[in-house]
Amino acid sequence: MRLTILSLPLCLLSLFAISCSQKGTAITSDEPYTAVEPSIFPARKGSYVGDVMPFVHNGELELYYLYDTDHNAKTYHPIYLYTTKDFVHYTDCGEALPFGSLSDPDSALGTGSVLQGKDGLFHFFYTGHSDSPKFSGRECVMHATSTDARHWQKIKEDTFYSPDGYSKDDFRDPEVFWNEEEGCYWLLIAARSDKKGGVVARYTSQDLKHWTFSGDLFAPQKQFMLECPNICHINDRYYLFYSWDCVTYYAVSDSISGEFREEKDNVLDGTNFAFYAGKTVTYNDKHYLCAWTGRNDFQKDSGLYSWAGNLLIHEIYTLENGSLGIREPQSIKDFFTKPKAFNIQSSYGKVSDKKGSIILGAKKDDFSLADIGVRQARTLFECDVTIEKNGIAGLAFGTLGDFSEYTVLALDTRRNCIRSEGTKLSDIFTEEPVGKTDFTFAQNGTYHISLIMENEIFSLHVDGKKALSGRLYSSIDGAHIALFAAGAKAEFSAIKYF
């Protein structure tokens, strides 16, 4: 493909020097790519973050999680703990709750929740899982207490299994909280009804020890299970989050007791384990959704993600129509203070620079691209994107040479989605997305995008309404970042690059 070297200044800082070899590869003064220890999206070396259980204690956000590895034994998934105050710097507190022995009902641990009861004690309700036939079922609710939220004592006699008419093998993810309106504790649990399929079942208690089954809070009769159910109260509405099909969903109600209803578009961040098992927490008067982004076992951009990966947190808030919006925590954006100098180092197609904006004039069946140099391990890229009707535009990653091999992170107005699943620019018109977030685009609309990257992990937010998170293995180890448009004209303006 035709390679053009441009010298179009984009006045952020001084420009890089550019030269070109006969093979069409730009030689620049970019800093070399150096991978970093994950901080924004943490995970212990050699392990993965599974389902997250947030809790606020002593002014910190405590994030319990299921600890996963590639070499789990017959006993597995102990619960570990991170703490943070700013979503950038985390303290690794190690193991918080161990799994039991093969003879215990919690030889594997599952998701749960932590709260401080009115008795002053800290209470941890979690899932016990065992394949032993000696127990009433494979899964149960278990209870542990602590005086300091660090040293936990399991109360085995408080263990209970699903009621009649519900699966004994699928009964997990207890979420416990005090319901001020009803003056009692609620326990929500992912259960499977013999008649309704996946449901959010509800229990009530006065003492966190004796529980009364109170029926189903939510039963859409669509999914096999509704994992990790939890409720967030924002303004005058209640938002019920749950997960299945590799996706985190939400439903909404005007009352905590229901009826909860699914909105037509109730996915905030991605399919394909892009953002799974989202659980909410209110911290410093803001509301956050805490989950994990999966990983590809073969470190490829394409293909299905595996369960567990790295911790990833969004802020959620209500839009004017009452639905939820999603954005990065402000403290993460504030972490990026060093502007990155850049210019258009090479290009393909019709590319121009107008008062700091990059304009790409792609033909109907082709693309245009402006390469702006090597991407650093931690990156914040923010701008406004105006896309003409039926256009596709966004960011692409690869090494200089054949731009058609660059991997895209795209706003696709043809398919009304945000997408990134290993699609190459050469396939952008024909390849259907595997991983995506639905988004309704207007004709000739302008959208604000904010992209945070750390090593191969990315989190892209669009207009504070939707996000797409995941991994771009093609963006690391010295790969370049580029702006592209396909099938129509696009303009990138108000660019901020850190």
Which pLDDT tens digit goes with each residue over 150-204? 999 999 999 999 999 999 999 999 999 999 999 999 999 999 999 999 999 999 9
One domain for residues 389 and 481: yes
Return the closest-CA partner of residue 382 out of 317, 464, 442, 314.
Answer: 464
Contacts of residue 252, defined as CB under 8 A and 6 or more positions apart, other chains included, come to: 237, 238, 239, 240, 260, 261, 263, 322, 323
Residues 307 and 385 occupy one common structural domain: no
**Contact yes or no for 406/425 (Cβ under 8 A):** yes
Can you give the C-alpha Rg of the chain in angstroms? 24
pLDDT at 29: 53
Same-domain status, 65 and 82: yes
Contact between 119 and 89 under an 8 Å Cβ cutoff? The reply is no
Strand partners, 482: 371, 396
* The predicted structure's pLDDT at residue 421: 86
Check which CATH number belongs to the domain holding 174 and give it.
2.115.10.20
Q: Which of 333, 350, 382 is the last residue of a domain?
A: 333
Identify whether residues 88 and 188 lie together within a single domain.
Answer: yes
Q: Which residues are registered as beta bridge partners of 315?
A: 288, 327
Q: How crowded is residue 494: how many other Cβ atoms within 10 Å of its Cβ?
A: 12
| pLDDT surpasses 80 at 458 | yes
Express each pLDDT in 112-148 by its tens digit. Answer: 999 999 999 999 999 999 999 999 999 999 999 999 9
Peptide bond into 259 cis (omega under 30): yes
pLDDT for 1 beyond 80: no
The one-letter code for the residue type at 181 is: E
> What is the distance, to the nearest Å, from the Cα of residue 413 to the centroid of all Cα atoms in its chain?
22
- For residue 465, the domain's CATH number is 2.60.120.560
Q: What is the mean pLDDT of the chain?
A: 93
**One domain, residues 205 and 86:** yes
Torsion angle, alpha carbons of 372, 463, 467, 482, to 10: -10
pLDDT of residue 13: 32
What pLDDT digit, counting tens, does each position of 275-304 carry?
999 999 999 999 999 999 999 999 999 889
Given 333, 348, 365, which residue is the final one in a domain? 333
Distance CA 383, CA 84 (A): 28
Amino acid at 76: Y
pLDDT of residue 15: 30
CB 497 within 8 A of CB 381: yes
Question: Which of helix, strand or coil describes residue 20?
Answer: strand
> How confident is the model at residue 446, as a pLDDT?
98
Q: What's the domain range around 90?
A: 48-333
Q: Which residue has the higher pLDDT, 411 or 258?
A: 411
User: Based on the domain organization, do 328 and 348 belong to the same domain?
Assistant: no
